[in-house]
Amino acid sequence: MTERRLVKGCCPHDCQDTCAWVAHVEDDRVVRVEGAREHPFTRGVLCAKINDYEKRTYAPDRLLYPLRRTGPKGDGMFERISWDAAVDIIADRFAAIIAEYGGEALLPLNYLGSMGVVQRRALMRLFHALGASRQIGSICGAAGNTLAAEGHPLGFDPEQIAESRLVVVWGANLLTTSHHHWHFIEEARRRNGATIVCIDPRRTRTAERCDRHLAVRPGTDRFLAAGLAHVMFAEGFVDTEHAAVATDLDTLRTEVSSWTPARASDACGVPAEEIVRLGRELGTVRPATIRSGIAPEQTLAGEAFVRSLSALAILGGHWRHRGGGLFIETSPVLNEGHAARPDIAPRPTRGLDLARLGENLTSTTLAPPIHGLMVFGTNPAVVQQDVARVRAGLARDDLFTVVVEHFLTDTARYADIVLPSTTQLEHFDINGAWGHHYVSVNNPAIQPLGESKPHGEMMRLLATRMGLDAPALHESDEDIARSALPEDISLDSLKADGWRKTFPAQPELRPGSLRLSGITAGDAPAPGNRLQLLTPKSHYFLNSSYVNLARQRRGMDRPTLEMNAADAEARGLADGDRVAVSNEQGEVTAWLGVGTSICQGVVSLTGKWWNHPTETGAVANFLTPSSWAPGGQPAYNDTFVDVVAAPLPTLPQVERQVGAGRA
């Protein structure tokens, strides 16, 4: 009988659950990944995206060798080259760019394709040593980061949510985006009879499981919050002693005094009596958790949105109690930034906002311009706003681009050199989290396939070839991981145990420290005759990852634009129609799904589809604007579109779609 080895690892992806898994290995082949049974979040179950992760590793379209581009940028024509040749080309080009324009003409671009410390930080060491521009900002929840920098607490140990008596699930589709958090909400319901209220413009699978669903118009939550605060002040429910953490409680009281439930209802679409009911609950049921997702942050008014939720948690005094407060995100004790070793930079360098890639690559004033780019763990040609501009930048002849990937994504098609990365089953790593307090280990289950390599090895190869001798550039992957660990966790114990809970300091709220007012400044979105486009997360894809994998692709069927029946009727459109969705930015095509699960005036295109290899043409970010909130939050949701009937796709397009589904 073949012997089966069990290897402790974890899911690498950008998700609040950071599940622990066990890889089952036979003859150096992973036959399945199973959720770790004893992990308090994972509880033996991985999600619908990841539960056959080994198929990602063994996918027929997996990149296994370095490639050099042979056709125009974006066309996807490449030839296989050796690692030696690839490293030579990259080292020579980077050296030439530095000689001509200085180190800051190089830019590393990374996001959370893998959240592993080694996969995220090792290559950053190389760029720090080269004096490259630093990446700053976020393409996810930058508004939350802005408020956190002001001192607003945005999270606590989510296991405590089991002790809540009221949970407001605010713009979070938890049963799709972090279903392991739902355990604790269910537990609150079971143990304390907690009420669960969902606030979302769509009747999601999460909304279906809540006690009440308030269908808010997107981008108007802060007016709803003002109405709730109005009720709390008017009915004497504000915990004034606790609310002394505000610098401006009186200003907030004055601000919301005119936001009667009737006025708030007009602005946000939630019935006035529901605003009164929830306002009373937030003022009297303790502890309450306001559990928000990231989507409602992703607008020009995202910062005011986060502030409005922080204000509600503080007015209700919920932070005083275990299991109460605002929960958007939280992290374990892990010094990830240190693993990137910014201290080895030869001089201070400029920071460039990763969320402004399109702007920075096409700028005529940026000095020096970006001439060398290395992309790893992100797919900017699909996920950044206004991707036509991003792609125009990536297509520049005077830009040398390296993309480190598992697959030939839309972004990789623009690369001069593509380097094949190992997947989580083939490398060592440790993972922090942004939704709980566990640090997890990922022991490698198998040898790297083909010539794929972990990012730590790429760093060492390039550093050696470029003659860089800083010791940090020659450390092993385990040393890189160890450099992030707190003193009381040894790497050996983590490797054996799989995960370890840490205990970050509880959020501290100091009197007179937080600004709460200003939540209603500015207008609500004004679509006119257009429809507001939302682009939420899909059940089977992780951002733009897994779009190319057959099972996940079947799970999502085809790109579908959800529309309210009244809006469809007004446009003479019917369920199943092929539609063109457009604005001055661009146009995409999709199939229409007509129903009542979405607010009137709003449409939703779920999933970050690629242009290639599926030819779906439904890359939603062709429609999203180049605009950012003051703190850098990309405003994906400030997108307004026209929707009209479109011709059916031609036969070759259909064949390509069917073929891709079978791949």
Q: Which residues bind Mo ion (CB under 5 A)?
A: 140
3-state secondary structure of 168: strand
User: What DSSP designation does 642 have?
Assistant: E
Closest CA to 230 of 253, 246, 262: 253
Stretch of 47-55, 82-90, 450-458, 486-494 contacting ligand SF4, by CB under 6 A: 47-55
Q: How far is the CB of 16 from Mo ion (least distance, A)?
A: 9
Residues 220-259 vs ligand MGD: string with x where CB under 6 A? -x--------------------------------------
Residues 95-114 vs ligand MGD: string with x where CB under 6 A? ----------------xxxx
Q: How far is the CB of 510 from ligand SF4 (least distance, A)?
A: 34
193 Rama sector, left if φ>0, alpha if ψ -120 to 50, beta otherwise: left
- In whole angstroms, what is the distance from residue 420 CA to residue 46 CA? 26
Interacting residues of 8 by C-beta distance below 8 A, sequence separation 6+: 20, 21, 22, 36, 441, 443, 495, 497, 498
Q: b/e per residue, 164-183, with b = 16+ CB within 10 A?
A: bbbbbbbbbbbbbbbbbbbb
What residues between 367 and 396 interact with ligand MGD by CB under 6 A? 376-379, 383
Instruction: Give which of ligand SF4, ligand MGD, Mo ion, none residue 621 binds (C-beta under 5 to 8 Å, depending on kind).
Output: ligand MGD
Angstrom CA distances, 261 to 19, 134, 233, stand at: 41, 46, 12
- In whole angstroms, what is the distance from residue 484 CA to residue 499 CA? 15
3-state secondary structure of 432: coil
Interacting residues of 266 by C-beta distance below 8 A, sequence separation 6+: none
Interface with ligand SF4, residue 112, by CB under 6 A: no
Q: What is the DSSP string of 366-417?
A: -SSPP-EEEEES--HHHHSSSHHHHHHHHT-TT-EEEEEESS--TTGGG-SE
Interface with ligand SF4, residue 18, by CB under 6 A: yes
Nearer to ligand MGD, 25 or 172 (CB): 172
Stretch of 9-17, 162-170, 248-256, 607-615 contacting ligand SF4, by CB under 6 A: 9-17
Q: Considering only residues 195, 502, 535, 585, which one is a binding residue for ligand MGD as defined by CB under 6 A?
A: 535
Q: Which residue's entry shows tokens 């090792």?
A: 122
By CB neighbour count within 10 A (0-12 exposed, 13-18 middle, 19+ buried), where does 103 fall?
Answer: buried
Interface with ligand SF4, residue 15, by CB under 6 A: yes
* Cα-only R_g, the chain: 25
What residues between 625 and 644 interact with ligand MGD by CB under 6 A? 636-637
Interface with ligand MGD, residue 609, by CB under 6 A: no
Dihedral angle at the C-alpha atoms of 465, 471, 476, 479, nearest 10 degrees?
A: -160
Amino acid at 424: Q
Q: Do 402 and 90 touch, CB atoms closer than 8 A?
A: yes
Q: Considering only residues 8, 9, 13, 229, which one is a binding residue for ligand SF4 as defined by CB under 6 A?
A: 13
Nearer to Mo ion, 181 or 253 (CB): 181
Nearer to ligand MGD, 144 or 317 (CB): 144
Instruction: Give which of Mo ion, ligand MGD, ligand SF4, none residue 50 binds (C-beta under 5 to 8 Å, depending on kind).
Output: ligand SF4
Q: Do 152 and 297 touch, CB atoms closer than 8 A?
A: no
Q: How far is the CB of 383 from ligand SF4 (least distance, A)?
A: 16
Q: Considering only residues 544, 552, 564, 614, which one is a binding residue for ligand MGD as defined by CB under 6 A?
A: 544
Q: How far is the CB of 603 from ligand MGD (least distance, A)?
A: 11
Interface with ligand MGD, residue 560, by CB under 6 A: no
Q: How far is the CB of 50 from ligand SF4 (least distance, A)?
A: 4
Percentages of the chain per state (helix, strand, coil), in multiples of 5? 35, 20, 45
Instruction: Give which of Mo ion, ligand SF4, ligand MGD, none residue 537 binds (C-beta under 5 to 8 Å, depending on kind).
Output: ligand MGD
Name the maximum alpha-carbon separation found in the chain. 75
Interface with ligand MGD, residue 358, by CB under 6 A: no
H helix runs in 433-506, sequence order: 455-465, 477-482, 491-497
Interface with ligand MGD, residue 421, by CB under 6 A: yes
Q: How far is the CB of 545 from ligand SF4 (least distance, A)?
A: 9
Nearer to Mo ion, 140 or 408 (CB): 140
Which residues are near ligand MGD by CB under 6 A?
12, 14-15, 49, 111-114, 119, 139-140, 170-173, 176-178, 199-202, 204, 216, 218-219, 221, 293-296, 376-379, 383, 404-407, 409, 421, 534-539, 541-545, 608, 620-621, 624, 636-637
Which residues are near ligand SF4 by CB under 6 A?
11, 13, 15, 17-19, 46-47, 49-50, 180, 542
